[in-house]
Amino acid sequence: MPEAAPVLTFAAIGDLHVKEDRTSTFRDLLAEMSRAADVLVLCGDLTDVGKPREAELLAQDLRACSVPLIGVLGNHDCESGHAQEVAQILKGAGVHLLDGQSHQIGGVAFVGVKGFMGGFGRRMLASFGEACVKALVAESVSEAIRLENAMRAVQSERAVVILHYAPVLDTVEGEPLEIFPFLGCSRLAETIDRFKVSAVVHGHAHHGRYEGRTPAGAPVYNVALPIKKPSGRPYALIKV
């Protein structure tokens, strides 16, 4: 019988919201995460309003990391219209920033897209009515298609999906009902369930729940900074 692949442990966190006028850094936390895991995963909203200076400050903190860094951007990273510059700064700091691609480490394929809003289950927004509604749904569909295309290229037996927006309702429960449709979309889960996925991580829902599952049973973890996690720390430790 072939030998079992070695277990890989990754640390995951999202929603750091680094500000220009911050009074503390994430350097010690990132160093701690590096000691605890083989890979460090960042699930978007790494900056507060998407300013290049915020990304530069985070890049300084990322120097404390001693393991591979993989991540996606979030909606806050797009706020100021400098998402490409923010991405380049983070890539320069060693982050494998994913936007419809995969990156393999230790026999595990990490696949990432930002994702988008749209709602969940039977209440998912449909492409009907005003042009602006159709444009919103088209963006949601586009993100799901980009995730699917990236997953089709994966050859590893193990895959981890990195998102910012939630793919399931489970991990946004605890947020106000009125904003559920803005926190994620079931189209992402529908795509994930077409493939063998070991784990899914996302952020965005600061008051949601840590753990959920897709309809087909893939484990989903909300790793936003404020979420209480089994590690007892601001980050999750996940083995695949």
Domain membership of residue 217 (yes or no) is yes
Question: For the domain that residue 135 is a member of, what is the CATH number?
Answer: 3.60.21.10
* Domain assignment of residue 2, yes or no: no
Per-residue model confidence (pLDDT) at position 231: 87
Q: For residue 45, tell me if it sits in a domain.
A: yes
* Long-range contacts of the stretch 121-125 (C-beta < 8 A, 24+): 121/169, 121/186, 123/181, 124/185, 124/186, 124/187, 125/181
Mind listing the pLDDT tens digit for each residue in 26-82? Answer: 999 999 999 999 999 999 999 999 999 999 999 999 999 999 999 999 999 999 999
Whole-angstrom distance, CA of residue 139 vs CA of residue 143 = 6
pLDDT level of residue 2 (50, 70, 90 thresholds): low
DSSP class of residue 186? Answer: H
Rounded-to-integer distance, Cα 229 and Cα 19, Å: 24
The pLDDT value recorded for residue 3 is 66
d(C-alpha 178, C-alpha 47), whole Å:
25
103-120 residues labelled b (16+ CB within 10 A) or e (exposed): bebbebbbbbbbbbbbbb
Q: What is the DSSP letter of 101?
A: E
Q: Answer yes or no: is 3 within a domain.
A: no
The answer to the question of residue 192 being in a domain is yes
- Angle at CA 177, nearest 5°, toward 147 and 216? 40
The predicted-structure confidence for 139-186, as pLDDT tens digits, reads as follows 999 999 999 999 999 999 999 999 999 999 999 999 999 999 999 999
pTM exceeds cut of 0.95: yes
What residues make up the domain containing 38? Answer: 9-239
The position carrying tokens 């990304």 is 55
Please report whether residue 4 resides in a domain.
no
194 part of a folded domain: yes
CA angle 119/164/7 to nearest 5° reads: 120
Looking at the 3D structure of the chain, how many domains does it have?
1
